[in-house]
Amino acid sequence: MKKAIPVIALLASMIIWSVSGIAIKHALAVLPPFTMIILRFVPSVLLMLIIGLICRKSTLFGLQKVALRDLPLFLIAGFCQPFLYYLLETFTYDSLNSPTIAEALLSTSPLLSPLFAAIILRERVTRNNIIGIVISTAGMFMLLLVGSTYFAIGNYWGILLAFAAVSAAIIDSLMMKKVPARYTSLTFIFYAQLISLLFFIPIWLWREGVGALTSLDWSQLSTIHSPLSIALGCTAYLTVFASVIAFILFCAALRQVGVTQANAFNNIRPAFTAIWMLLFFGEHMPLAKWIGMILIIFGLFICQKQEKCNNL
């Protein structure tokens, strides 16, 4: 049962994040992008501060002071994600003509994670890890690309931007693993998001500013189904679930199973998203997509399977 807890935590975080894309799309229909980010991360940082102070003695939710020698790890993590990743992701979608291609490229972190983890952390990468990741990634590409008809690349710089975004996300994962075990998961996530917020605020003030908030029609909040109410409800979901709960679960699990195995679960996020789109929006699911989902699950099973052979 103890070995199953990290897997359950990773699955829970992926289920939460699989809804994030849908929530972001609805939020951005009303809110300017950097305003949405500010409305998402300011409350999440405050929420974690309150939880951390209340649960100070908790090994998972306690908030601790960061030693000066460990501060660079938190600074790198906060700069890489969400700050740098979100910027690079935005420019990727803007540079590439096909959102499908962009989404597929931004979902390649499981393929690159073993390389980063082996070189930087000297993390053990087994044959099962590699085989499982390749199988699940093939399933992920089937899920994303089958049925899409528009594959024009556009600006080829978008491909480099996509891999830069993925690299930033992986480096953030490496910092989660590298931060000393004495720090709680909430401590890591709190400081990483606080540092990201300090980078976001100047850009928000420059590009959108307080005027973006005052220009919104706040009278719409009297109607629960108004566009602004839906946008703020989606932002609240992103704040509480995607930015706090999912990140804490992912961080806690990653520190137990390692970067390679934890990031392999990113392949299952599109599968959950496809299920939500089927259940709530009636999106068509051809047979090839179901096969892709099966490959993802099978690949994850292989990736998590222990083996006696030596490292690759």
Indicate whether 286 pLDDT > 90. Answer: no
Task: Give residue 93's pLDDT band: very low, low, confident or very high (50, 70, 90).
Answer: confident
HSE toward the beta carbon, residue 3, CA cutoff 13 A: 4
In degrees, to the nearest 5, what angle opens at C-alpha 14 toward C-alphas 8 and 19?
A: 135
Indicate whether 151 pLDDT > 70. Answer: no
Average pLDDT estimate for 144-150 = 67
Indicate whether 153 pLDDT > 80. Answer: no
96 forms beta bridges with 154
Average pLDDT estimate for 69-75 = 94
Task: Give residue 152's pLDDT band: very low, low, confident or very high (50, 70, 90).
Answer: low
Q: How far is CA 286 from the centre of its chain?
A: 27
Has this prediction a pTM greater than 0.85? Answer: yes
Cis? peptide before 270, omega within 30° of 0: no
- Predicted pLDDT of residue 123: 85
Task: Give residue 22's pLDDT band: very low, low, confident or very high (50, 70, 90).
Answer: confident
In degrees, to the nearest 5, what angle opens at C-alpha 63 toward C-alphas 60 and 67?
A: 115
- Predicted pLDDT of residue 100: 65
Give the tens place of pLDDT for each residue, 256-279.
989 988 999 988 888 888 888 888
Average pLDDT estimate for 297-312 = 69
Identify whether the C-beta of residue 37 lies closer than 8 Å to the C-beta of residue 287: no
**Residue that wins the pLDDT comparison between 14 and 104:** 14
Percent of the chain with pLDDT over 90: 50
Indicate whether 309 pLDDT > 50. Answer: no
- For 155, other C-beta atoms within 10 Å of its C-beta total 14
Give the tens place of pLDDT for each residue, 172-184.
999 999 999 899 9
- Predicted pLDDT of residue 98: 67
Burial of 254-264, coded b for 16+ CB within 10 Å and e otherwise, reads bbbbbbbbbbb
- Predicted pLDDT of residue 41: 95
Indicate whether 155 pLDDT > 80. Answer: no
Q: N- to C-terminal Cα distance for the chain?
A: 28
Give the tens place of pLDDT for each residue, 201-242.
999 999 999 999 999 999 999 999 999 999 999 999 999 999
